[in-house]
Amino acid sequence: MNEMRYISPTGMIGSGFQEASLRRALAADPHFIGCDGGSTDDGPYQLGAGKPMFARQACKRDLRILIGAALEKKIPLLVGSCGGAGGRINLEWTWGIVKEIAHEQGFHFRAAVIDSEPPREYLLKKFREGKIRPLDPAPPLDEKALAGADHVVCMMGVEPFQEALDNGAQVVLAGRSSDTSIFAALPVKHGFDPGLAWHAAKVLECGAAAVTNRFTPDGMLCTLRKDEFILEPANPQMKCTPVSVAAHTLYENADPYLLYEPSGALETHNATYEAVDERRVRVRGSGFRKLPYTLKLEGAKQAGYQSIVIGGVRDPVILGQLDEWLAGMKKRITDRIDSIFGEDMRGKYHMNLRVYGRDGVMGPREPEHGRLAHEICLLLDFLAEDQETAHTMAASGGHIALHHPIPEWHGLISGVAFPYAPHVIDRGPVYRFMLNHVVEPATPMEPFRVDYRTL
């Protein structure tokens, strides 16, 4: 094969794309469609709770159009990190949508569903064998922490995708996968230069993000040849320039020259970017260094339940002594929690008193801490073992905040403006990421299970 063409319709299933752009890209007769389905950007909740970032209806719309396009063109559709985090619950949630689409549209195809959440015993064994290593920075890890995680996923490389395609799957729904593996799987399988294949994949995984002005989520078409790849935005109003494509290697990535993948590292030191015309860019010279095979692990553990109170303060007399007022308030709230739950509760909950208009965004790193706006937003949050406890703390905390006195006003004050009734908001369970580690598998397939399902 001398040339492979492929489309990334958008940066993430559920974020949307223009159907006309997809149709336009399909006219190039692509060999496959790939799409990322997840992100860790919005925190540990997707993995911990098994709930995706984007809503079901939004994901269904994107998947319906993409499955329809793949069947029409008789090409595979590869979806990675299904359901936001790629955990088993996220993956089966996505499968449920796909089944519903097939039923409603009368679609028939063979699907592969790739589980990336290995049995915990497997991971514990690897840990005992010293085959789980920390990246930098990483939280401390021991057997107890690993055993106690709510969900741990392995980020797959190209091999599970390749196996699914070899076994005739037309729609591949993958659990957690590196964003790039989705787009590198087929090119690498067909023997294209790995540096170019992985570099193209890095650009494609964000859809049209590498254009000069991405005014709406949309797609990108890649044409990969022996010694180059060419990028063209699917939307005729969007343009790639050498600078816009080069800049994309920076995005959401700590090092623009070295991008680590399971089987090695993409090296962009010698990559060149050249305009083909006003909208298309040619890339050459990317390298790939083979390294011992490792798979990244992601884990989430429930931290507890949270309840919050949001309020505003406008009184200049209070604002003139904000630090003292808040310190006194915090002491009162702590005492009240002691009086309700007893001293045993100390150390078993976590309280934050945040001030927007002062240092809400940067916290202790705020250099202009002393400069206060004419009004501030006060955010109280409480994290405890169960929702009722967190709620109790927030209800008492909000009430204490509302009436916390200052010396200048005599009698009962109401010093906080609540925009919502009720003013206590229960946020449900919250989670923490607890792994930044890699595992050395015996084979690239070892932690994964491919399940074939026919619709």
421 binding other proteins? (CB under 8 A): no
Interface with other proteins (CB under 8 A), residue from 17, 32, 45, 305: 45
CB of 429 to other proteins, least distance (A): 12
364 binding other proteins? (CB under 8 A): yes
Interface with other proteins (CB under 8 A), residue from 110, 225, 432, 449: 432
Pick between residue 158 and residue 245 the one whose CB is nearest to other proteins.
245
Return the SS3 of 233.
strand
327 binding other proteins? (CB under 8 A): no
Interface with other proteins (CB under 8 A), residue from 23, 96, 257, 451: 257
CB of 306 to other proteins, least distance (A): 8
Residue appearing with tokens 């904000």? 322
Count of residues engaged in binding other proteins, rule: CB under 8 A: 45
Residue 269: burial class (beta carbons within 10 Å; 0-12, 13-18, 19+): exposed
In the numeric block, which tokens belong to residue 397? 């905390």
CB of 352 to other proteins, least distance (A): 7
139 binding other proteins? (CB under 8 A): yes
Binding mask of the shown chain, residues 272 to 311, with x at each position contacting other proteins by CB under 8 A = xx------------------------x----x--------
In angstroms, the CA 163 to CA 448 distance is: 11
Sign, CA dihedral 83-86-92-95, equals positive
135 binding other proteins? (CB under 8 A): yes
CB of 373 to other proteins, least distance (A): 15
Task: Compute CA 5 distance to the chain's CA centroid, rounded to the nearest angstrom.
Answer: 27
197 binding other proteins? (CB under 8 A): no
Interface with other proteins (CB under 8 A), residue from 251, 409, 420, 452: 251
CB of 281 to other proteins, least distance (A): 11
CB of 170 to other proteins, least distance (A): 32
324 binding other proteins? (CB under 8 A): no
In angstroms, the CA 281 to CA 245 distance is: 8
Pick between residue 252 and residue 386 the one whose CB is nearest to other proteins.
252
In angstroms, the CA 229 to CA 240 distance is: 13
Asked if residue 45 lies in contact with residue 69, where contact means CB atoms within 8 angstroms, the answer is: no
> Read out DSSP for 139-195?
----HHHHHH-SEEEE-B-SHHHHHHHHTT-SEEEESSB-TTHHHHHHHHHTT--HH
Asked if residue 38 lies in contact with residue 176, where contact means CB atoms within 8 angstroms, the answer is: yes
Return the SS3 of 345.
helix
Interface with other proteins (CB under 8 A), residue from 3, 166, 227, 255: 255
Binding mask of the shown chain, residues 389 to 418, with x at each position contacting other proteins by CB under 8 A = ------------------------------
In angstroms, the CA 123 to CA 152 distance is: 9
215 binding other proteins? (CB under 8 A): no
Q: Which amino acid makes up residue 448? A: F
**Distance set, CA 237 to CA 25, 211, 215 (Å):** 13, 10, 10
Sign, CA dihedral 111-114-119-125, equals positive
Interface with other proteins (CB under 8 A), residue from 3, 41, 166, 338: 41
42 binding other proteins? (CB under 8 A): yes
316 binding other proteins? (CB under 8 A): no
Residues of the shown chain interacting with other proteins in the complex, contacts defined by CB under 8 A: 40-45, 135, 137-139, 242-243, 246-247, 249-257, 271-273, 298, 303, 350, 352, 354, 360-365, 367, 381, 383, 430-433, 436
